A and B are shown apart, each in its own frame.
Chain A
Amino acid sequence: MVRDLYREYAPMVYSLAYRVVQDHGLAEEATQTTFLNAWRHAADFDPDREMGPWLYTIARRAAIDIYRRERRHRAGPASEAEMAVLPKSMDETWRAWQVQLALRALPGEELEVIRCTHYLGLTHEQTAERLGIPAGTVKSRSHRAYRRLAAILSDLAGEVAG
């Protein structure tokens, strides 16, 4: 079960950590710390609530702690006010987390089409060739994926407003 949790959330945790610490090794450390702390505090988690926000809080804390530790090592003694300053990328982490949650709600075949389009910058024809499927299938999967993402976006807006 814990391995399932890791597989579902590790990319999001790692991505959040990297945004903050800007280093792959430190992002790995933050990811390890996140899942360890989540396991340790599992009794505190209310199963009636969403796992995402709870894990986000733990991941954010782990990344911030490492960020500040590294700043302390590099810069030497610093005032409390200086150490309280967080990287600008912190503002993006919650939005990025929500986007990644939305993407992971897509069926694998639709996610792959979106990834080819946006991450690899491929056209429908290039995506079709890469995935070994007809261009028409790429178009229909793409269309379904955007509709799902738009619906999830509306749900997220509703949660915030609620």
Chain B
Amino acid sequence: MRCEEARAALLAGETDPRVEEHLSTCPSCRAEMGRIEEMRAALGDALTWLEPATGLEDQVMTLLTPARARDDGRRLGVVAAAVVAVILGGVVVWTATRPPPPDWEVTLPGVGHPGEVTVAGWNRDGATALRVSADGITPAPGGHVYELWLSRDGAYVSAGSFVTVDQPVLLSVGVSRRDYPRVWITLEPLDGDPAPSKQVLFDAYP
């Protein structure tokens, strides 16, 4: 009997005198006995066959959608691209592309930082379109960006990054604020590290 046959028989739990005979003459297979028994025990363990709920796949895909990023791992927001402003005598007139009122709006006070930021959100089938606006916020220093996060407990999702808020910045995120209620902004170095930095500049607790 060859080693592969003997080990397969052991895995199957077969009692075969030829297996015993092979083991008596094969130190390699004898050395494998422990691992084979572990595998056999694992085959009978319900946790080996555990599967996540079918809906989890779509949830994960939604989470991953906004994380398809540029080379440096950050997504820069589009500066109010959906808005067409016509300046007439110093007055800014909104065109027919003005969006509907947001579903929610929150003001993020500065955390040891001057100014405040307003974030408005439009819910879209579990995802959220966002508008970030602010007064008196200086552009992010060289080699850095501001980044907007939504989070719940230890789980965070980036909604994207921006350098300046001279004009409203439009972002999007594949989760809803109902599931990720905390909204905050950090100052991020462009170091390729996708995790939020410890420099939280603006924060609003739910």
Contacts and interface: CB of A to CB of B under 8 A. Distances in A.
Interface of A: 2-3, 6-7, 10-11, 14-15, 18-19, 24, 27-29, 31-33, 35-36, 39-41, 43, 65-66, 69, 95-96, 99-100, 102-103, 114-115, 118-119, 142-143, 146-147, 149-151, 153-154, 157
A157 B53 CA distance: 33
Given A6-B57, A114-B43, A147-B4, A35 B49 contact: no
A2 B42 contact: no
Contacts of B44: 118-119
B38 interface: yes
Given A32-B63, A40-B67, A18 B47 contact: yes
Query: Of residues B10, B32, B44, B45, which shows the largest number of chain A Cβ atoms within 10 Å of its Cβ?
Result: B45
A5 to B, nearest CB: 10
8 contacts: A15-B48, A36-B60, A36-B63, A40-B67, A43-B73, A99-B48, A103-B43, A149-B11
Interface of B: 3-5, 7-12, 32, 35-36, 38-39, 42-53, 56-57, 59-61, 63-64, 67, 73, 153-155, 157, 192, 194-195
Contacts of A31: 52, 56, 60
A13 B181 CA distance: 26
Contact of B57 (A3, A18, A27, A69): A3
Contacts of A66: 154
A153 B49 CA distance: 18
A143 B5 CA distance: 9
A33 B48 contact: no
Given A99-B42, A157-B35, A151 B4 contact: yes
A143 B8 CA distance: 7
Contacts of B195: 40
Contact of B46 (A7, A32, A119, A142): A119
B32 A28 contact: no
A15 B11 contact: no
A119 B38 CA distance: 15
Nearest to A148: B8
Given A6-B57, A14-B52, A29-B155, A153 B64 contact: no
A36 B67 CA distance: 8
Contacts of A146: 8-9, 11-12
